[in-house]
A and B are shown apart, each in its own frame.
Chain A
């Protein structure tokens, strides 16, 4: 295997492989240290970036980081690569590619045309040469618009998933959290429950309940029970009112096997959900979640750094025209992203990399209680992401998910974000808020008056 070497910072740094260059070029994070892949000094980290900056983008087509023969995600990436779309940037080095992405020549139109020509490894590589502001600037130029009953990802809009989880799936408890969110104008991306069990009949009960709530108030949105894809397939067979198929995905075949999935089962589920034709604004039917560290935790990372493996998951997502994709960035825990500095950086990387590949990227702005992070840090990350044009974020009552025991954004947080940055929910949902009398003259959503409460809580 070729090695890479560079004189920098007063000493010679040698990297055994392309994967080692990528890992050492990554900003410091606990997951790569846990895997034994991280640069052990800051100078070595920058030396790796200098090596990376001078490598041709094409090297990632010639030297797959995970072998083609043994990994179906690599095969998907190579076989679906669009050489014509790649042509405009094919002579560039990774460093030159960064400069081009930031240039005025890289317009929303040219970036959209380029997306099928980019592989996850190219996108991960260039992200390692970017500062947080660079990640925001380029992501902001990448619009990825998808539709089911609402249209998500339009310029000037910020959508949200309403996440009314309950530790025992109590219907009244879930209804309470749902109505609370609707009164804040939350839920235009999806009303999505993480069920307490993977039991099929329990999931079907939840699907019916969400569909009834949606029907009763004629809400233009979609619902989802985040159960395993094979459960969703069975629910469809049994006639459940299923809008979106959910699945957690990762960037290697082995990690996906750990989730009990393959590309073929995802394709089967996409076909089944599309055949229901339940979308009115569009027919993007898949919802995926990802997170840095998931492959390492399954011992399925092949010696590749966690951020690069994460971006490979977006190539999996991209193949199924998803409606929604989000990273659960701070959920995975401090052994992968130790503190708010690492969580914020990873959130911006994930959003940028997804958008550049043409994936409709949202972020679960969140943290666990054993990570070095708090609400102030989430204020920072949500503001940066909204500024960068994130498709959607996730809201739970009071930022406290009582089922998964972690903190996401509160309904308040998302409402404040929209008002401060002048962002609106999806147009279809915005119209519903107006019809329900929940908006004031300037289009803001004030605390509801008694009649509005009665209409929704009655």
Chain B
């Protein structure tokens, strides 16, 4: 019996397109189905994305990597979602602090601050682990003289920055948060900036920088854009759609569809 031969074309007709897109084009066919290598590539990408969603941040290692000389120690908070399963079902709980968190914030907030940097796990622990510390370094280097507090937030949504910012009497809250993983990038970090943070702020009152990852925004460029936004926000005393026109953002949401994937 002879070995079966795969009907794979000798030359890749899509070769000249591949540099132009990360899309999974020209995968070949096994009958009507995916060839085995393409099938397993997909499964690995999905597994990485799933593990990013269900992974946990090593908060100790992250704190060790943060520049805390000027900010004081990290303040750790937790949302009202006790675990990941609840977090995924109940975004409302991920936007509220749990019972123990306010006391820790108040203990650390003897005076108002200019900026609360809230590092939130969101939907990608991998993104936070890899990009949060480099971004914080780049941001702090650009705002000498600002009073900054650093908060780490577990099972957190973007809007958890509102009660945190309020408790710290912060002028601005910048939430660094793991974005919903895609198959091509599982460790993308986003930043949501809110002026005068307090519960009840709408998403339209925030500015967003997304796609901070190896093939997207670099930490330095993200910090550059964030500091531009923060400076404007302090002068104009607002964030949100009125700043959006001038904010150089890279957004990849389904712009006109029911839900932009805000973590």
Binding site for B on A (CB under 8 A): 30, 33-34, 164-167, 170, 172-177, 180, 194-198, 226-228, 246-248, 250, 259, 289-291, 293-294, 297, 328, 331-335, 338, 368-370, 374-375, 396-400, 402-407, 410, 412, 415-416, 419, 447, 450, 453, 457
Interface residues of B in 208-263 (CB under 8 A from A): 251-259, 261
**Judging by beta carbons under 8 Å apart, are B256 and A247 in contact?**
yes
Interface CB pairs A-B, < 8 A, 14: A174-B21, A175-B17, A177-B23, A227-B255, A228-B256, A291-B258, A331-B254, A370-B123, A375-B46, A398-B24, A398-B42, A399-B42, A405-B180, A416-B33
Q: Which of B22, B180, B258 contacts A402 (CB 8 A)?
A: B22
Q: Give the residue name and chain of the B residue nearest to A313 (CB).
A: B258
In the complex, A333→B258 CA distance in Å?
A: 11
Which residues of the partner chain A approach B32 to less than 8 Å between Cβ atoms? 412, 415-416, 419
**Distance between Cα atoms of A368 and B114 in the complex (Å):** 37
Q: Nearest CB to that of B41 among chain A residues? A: A398
Which of A175, A259, A328, A368 has the most C-beta atoms of chain B within 10 angstroms of its own C-beta? A368
B65 within 8 A of A: no
CB neighbours of B182 from chain A (8 A): 369, 400, 402, 405-406
* Chain B residues with CB below 8 A from A196, complex form: 251-252
Query: Contact at A450–B257, with CB atoms within 8 Å?
Result: no
A374 near B23: Cβ-Cβ < 8 Å: no
Q: In this complex, what residue of A is CB-closest to B91?
A: A335
A410:B34 contact, CB within 8 angstroms: yes
Q: When chains A and B are docked, how far (Å) is the Cα of A288 from the Cα of B188?
A: 30
Which B residues are CB-close (under 8 A) to A172? 17, 20-21
B254 lies within 8 A of A194 (CB): yes
What's the Cα separation between A33 and B29 when bound, in Å?
A: 43
Across-interface contacts of A293 in B (CB, < 8 A): 258-259
Smallest CB-CB separation from B186: which chain A residue?
A369
Q: Taking CB as reference atom, which chain A residue is nearest B90?
A: A34
- Judge whether B91 and A34 touch: CB under 8 Å: yes
Residue of B nearest to A165 (CB): B23
Task: From the candidates B28, B38, B254, name the one contacting A404 in the complex (CB within 8 A).
Answer: B254
CB distance from B231 to the nearest CB of A (A): 25
Please determine whether A248 and B256 come into contact, CB atoms closer than 8 angstroms.
yes
Known pairs A174-B21, A248-B256, A291-B259. 8 more at Cβ < 8 A? A172-B17, A180-B14, A250-B258, A370-B181, A396-B23, A403-B252, A404-B252, A405-B185
Residues of B within 8 A of A370 (CB): 53, 88, 123, 180-181
Inter-subunit contact A400/B45 (CB<8 Å): yes
A180/B25 contact (C-beta < 8 A), A335-B91, A402-B182 known:
yes
B interface, by DSSP: helix, strand, loop or mixed? loop
**A332 touches which one: B25, B92, B259 (CB < 8 A)?**
B259
Do residues B21 and A170 form an inter-chain contact, with CB atoms below 8 A? Answer: yes
Indicate if B3 sits at the interface (CB-CB under 8 A).
Answer: no
B13 touches A (CB below 8 Å) = yes
Does B70 touch A at the CB level, under 8 Å? no
CA distance A194 to B9 in the complex (A): 31
Cross-chain contact of B255 among A198, A331, A332, A405 (Cβ < 8 A)? A198
Q: Are A297 and B17 neighbours in the complex by a CB distance under 8 Å?
A: no
With A405-B182, A416-B32 already in contact, the answer to whether A335 and B27 are too (CB < 8 A) is no
Query: CB-CB < 8 A to B186: which residues of A?
Result: 369
Q: Is B36 an interface residue (CB 8 A)?
A: no
Alpha-carbon separation in the docked complex, A289 to B14 (Å): 31
What is the bound-complex CA distance between A324 and B21, given in angstroms? 28
Whether A176 contacts B257 in the complex (CB less than 8 A), given A369-B181, A403-B252, A457-B13, comes out as no
Residues on A with beta carbons closer than 8 Å to the beta carbon of B50? 369
What residues on A are CB-neighbors of B25 within 8 Å? 176-177, 180, 397-398
* B23 A400 Cβ-Cβ under 8 A: yes
Q: Which B residues are CB-close (under 8 A) to A402?
A: 21-23, 182-184
**Min C-beta distance of A231 to chain B, whole Å:** 9
Contact B23 A335 (CB under 8 A): no
CB distance from A164 to the nearest CB of B (A): 8
Q: How far is the CA of A335 from the CA of B81 in the complex (A)?
A: 13
CA–CA, A437 and B252, complex, Å: 38
Inter-chain contacts of A173 with B (CB < 8 A): 17, 20-21, 23
Question: What CA separation (Å) do A229 and B28 show in the bound complex?
Answer: 37
B26 touches A (CB below 8 Å): yes
How many Å lie between the Cα of A154 and that of B152 in the bound state? 56
CA distance in complex: A419, B46 (Å): 27
Q: Please state if A400 and B49 are interface contacts (CB–CB under 8 Å).
A: no
Known: A166-B21, A399-B42. A334 touches B89 (CB 8 A): yes
Q: Which 7 A-B pairs have the closest CB atoms?
A: A398-B24, A405-B182, A173-B21, A294-B258, A176-B17, A416-B32, A172-B20
CA gap between A174 and B21 in the complex, in Å:
8
Docked complex Cα distance between A198 and B260 (Å)? 14
CB distance from B26 to the nearest CB of A (A): 6
**What residues on B are CB-neighbors of A250 within 8 Å?**
258
Interface residue from A180, A331, A338, A415 paired with B89 (Cβ < 8 Å): A338
Interface-centre pick from B45, B89, B185 (highest chain A CB count, 10 A): B89
Residues of B within 8 A of A291 (CB): 257-259
- The one of A176, A396, A400, A415 that contacts B184, using a Cβ cutoff of 8 Å: A400
Check B69 for interface membership: any CB of A closer than 8 A: no
Which residue of chain B is the closest to A226 with respect to CB atoms? B256
Counting CB contacts under 8 A, is B5 at the interface? no
The answer to whether the Cβ of B2 comes within 8 Å of any Cβ in the partner chain is: no
Interface presence of B111 (CB below 8 A):
no
Q: Are B256 and A369 in contact (CB under 8 A)?
A: no
Residues of B within 8 A of A30 (CB): 89
Is A335 a contact of B180 with CB atoms below 8 Å?
Answer: no
Nearest CB of chain A from residue B220's CB, rounded to whole Å: 21
A405 surroundings in chain B (CB, below 8 A): 180-185, 252, 261
Find out whether the CB atom of B88 lies under 8 angstroms from the CB atom of A334. yes
Chain A nearest CB, measured from B202 CB (Å): 10
A227 near B254 with CB under 8 A, answer no
Q: Which of B53, B88, B258 contacts A328 (CB 8 A)?
A: B258
